[in-house]
């Protein structure tokens, strides 16, 4: 089945984010997403095969845009340390401005089956590659230890960002997620020297 795109495709994905965030992926029905999008149930099936396809497409769309926009931001940075700061700030700022998206990516995507996991791993790998490129650049620039294992460093950087966002999503008290960018950057960058 050829996938379609366009305004309704985008509206359905936006509705899916809201619905998954509100009721959870497993409790959401395609009919709930259709109602939130203001379309008939059958219209959803013109664009997506099933609920799993919606979730995978949603994540792929979000990650592709996220990485493309982040890459553009990194082009303005002078060195790897500035790029690392930008990655952390961009990640936290983006999700702070989209709490429903944050809830879906931090909570709902972690409760899925292996088939969905395979569908979301490719776009996530591009983000991991981007972080590793920045770490390698920092090593070449003499900003980070030459003996630093790039893959482990990437796991620590991503893991730190990911944990900060997850705690924010799960917190009953609202606080400024973006304000945590600088303390997190300071902690992580010191470990790379």
pLDDT the model gives residue 1: 44
Residue 113 pLDDT exceeds 90: no
Buried b (16+ CB within 10 A) or exposed e, 25-59: beebebebbbebbebeeeebeebbeebebbbbbbb
Mean pLDDT of the chain: 91
Summarised one tens digit per residue, pLDDT across range 65-111 is 999 999 999 999 999 999 999 999 999 999 999 999 999 988 887 76
pLDDT the model gives residue 151: 97
Q: State mean pLDDT over 35-42.
A: 94
pLDDT the model gives residue 3: 57
Residue 58's nearest CA partner among 101, 115, 29, 117 is: 101
Residue 23 pLDDT exceeds 80: yes
Residue 133 pLDDT exceeds 70: yes
Residue 2 pLDDT exceeds 60: no
* Domain boundaries along the sequence of the chain: 51-192
DSSP-derived secondary structure letter, 111: G
CATH code for the part of the protein at 51-192: 1.10.357.10
**E strands of 42-169, at which residues?**
none
pLDDT the model gives residue 174: 86
């Amino acid at each position: 089945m050829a996938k379609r795109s366009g305004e309704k495709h985008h509206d359905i994905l936006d509705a899916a984010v809201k619905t998954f965030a509100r009721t959870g992926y497993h409790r959401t029905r395609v009919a709930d997403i259709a109602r939130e999008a203001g379309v008939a149930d059958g219209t959803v099936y013109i664009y997506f095969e099933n609920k799993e396809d919606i979730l995978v497409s949603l994540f792929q769309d979000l990650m592709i845009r996220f990485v493309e926009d982040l890459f553009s931001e990194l082009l303005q940075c002078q060195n790897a340390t500035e790029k690392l700061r930008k990655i952390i700030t961009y990640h936290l700022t983006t999700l702070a401005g989209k709490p429903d998206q944050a809830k879906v990516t931090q909570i709902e995507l972690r409760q899925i089956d292996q088939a969905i996991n395979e569908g979301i791993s490719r776009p996530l790998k591009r983000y991991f590659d981007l972080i590793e490129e920045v770490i390698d650049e920092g090593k070449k620039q003499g900003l980070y230890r030459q003996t630093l294992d790039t893959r482990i460093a990437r796991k620590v950087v991503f893991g730190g960002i990911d944990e900060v966002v997850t705690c924010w999503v799960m917190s009953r008290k609202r606080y400024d997620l973006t304000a945590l960018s600088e303390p997190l950057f300071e902690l992580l960058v010191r470990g790379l020297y």
